[in-house]
Amino acid sequence: EAGVTQFPSHSVIEKGQTVTLRCDPISGHDNLYWYRRVMGKEIKFLLHFVKESKQDESGMPNNRFLAERTGGTYSTLKVQPAELEDSGVYFCASSLLDRSGETQYFGPGTRLLVL
């Protein structure tokens, strides 16, 4: 069974440009999460989808970040326009909908550098 995949693995862009990150969750996982780790800080939650619906986007830094999950399958996270402080590693995770407690399976991350 394929794990969570993310594309691209690395992205280097200039300030003001747009970048779109993609995440493909494990097949059948209704829950999809985005997290990020900026330099020197802990990994922080960004948002949570249940199928195609945004369940919680309380961690999104500002309106330059837009996440979508078309048809409840893969998800994209767009940053427009990118700023220097957006540099970091963006992780995607997925899990089954299981209220007794669940393991979140993480992808390898996308390393974003904004110059």
Q: Which residues bind other proteins (CB under 8 A)?
A: 6, 31, 33, 35, 41-45, 48, 55-56, 58-59, 91, 93, 95, 100-109, 111
Nearer of residues 72 and 108 to other proteins, judged by Cβ: 108
Smallest gap from Cβ 96 to other proteins, in A, equals 11
- Of 111, 110, 38, give the one whose Cα is nearest residue 75: 110
Our CB check for other proteins shows the closer of 83 and 102 to be 102
> Is 61 or 108 the residue whose CB approaches other proteins more closely?
108
CA pair distance 91, 57, nearest whole angstrom: 15
- Nearest approach in angstroms of CB 16 to other proteins is 27
Contacts of 42 (CB under 8 A, 6+ apart): none
Q: Quickly list H helices, the chain.
A: none
**Rounded Cα–Cα distance for residues 112 and 115 (Å):** 10
